Chain A
């Protein structure tokens, strides 16, 4: 696609429920990243995928968070047993490859509200 697409754009869920957030990267981009941005804060790295390599999960805040990337394209971020502190904007980005010289294209984000 022309840009990075994320869905849904907004999600309100009850505490304790599971949620799935979807990211469709730019076609041909081999690297895909998930970030979290709490209100008024910077971007917190969560996880990234590069080609067929094992994902870098070093930023996942707890084992309630997981992500997968199917067929090297679409990615799903799953949050189990959501908590109020999970409320944030979840941003997905993609790049041609992983490495110091590659900038990212970001999606518009999913705003998650846990009530």
Chain B
């Protein structure tokens, strides 16, 4: 069975600073995908970034990057230059045949 652990229920960051959201995972499958989604207060689920288990390089998408450490089974999300609009819930998820989500981290960006 797959498992995702997000140990930070809440995080605060000042605008324009960088922030790292932690995620560790557990799976026995050699092939998997790691995903991060953002859920603002409106409730929609917004895809941010993807990392394949065989990818050698860390994924990046604009201000988002994924710090993938396969041996440690961690897939932390780094948001650079935080903006007020980044305030939301952030979910890490693992996909072998279906997405399994962590419990999420609530990020609050303050001016």
Q: A41 near B: Cβ within 8 Å?
A: yes
How far apart sit A89 and B44, CA to CA, in the bound complex (Å)?
A: 11
Q: A33 near B: Cβ within 8 Å?
A: yes
Report chain A residues within 8 Å CB of B31. Answer: 100
Report chain A residues within 8 Å CB of B33. Answer: 100-103
How far apart sit A41 and B44, CA to CA, in the bound complex (Å)?
A: 14
Report yes or no: A91 in contact with B103, Cβ–Cβ below 8 A. no
Least CB separation from B35: chain A residue: A103
Q: B47 near A: Cβ within 8 Å?
A: yes
Among B17-25, B65-73, B74-82, B90-98, the stretch that binds chain A is: B90-98
A: interface residue count bin: 20 to 34
Report yes or no: B43 in contact with A108, Cβ–Cβ below 8 A. yes
Q: A43 near B: Cβ within 8 Å?
A: yes
Report yes or no: B44 in contact with A106, Cβ–Cβ below 8 A. yes
A51 to chain B, nearest CB (A): 13
Give the residues from 48 to 79 in chain B that come closer than 8 angstroms, CB to CB, to chain A: 50, 52-53
**Which of A45, A108, A109 is B99 in contact with, Cβ under 8 Å?**
A45
Give the residues from 10 to 36 in chain A that come closer than 8 angstroms, CB to CB, to chain B: 33, 35
Report chain B residues within 8 Å CB of A102. Answer: 33, 95
Most buried by A among B33, B35, B95, B102: B95
How far apart sit A101 and B94, CA to CA, in the bound complex (Å)?
A: 10
Report chain A residues within 8 Å CB of B100. Answer: 45
Q: CB within 8 Å of A: which residues of B?
A: 29, 31-33, 35, 43-45, 47, 50, 52-53, 91, 93, 95-104
Q: CB within 8 Å of B: which residues of A?
A: 33, 35, 41-43, 45, 48, 56, 89, 91, 93, 98-106, 108-109
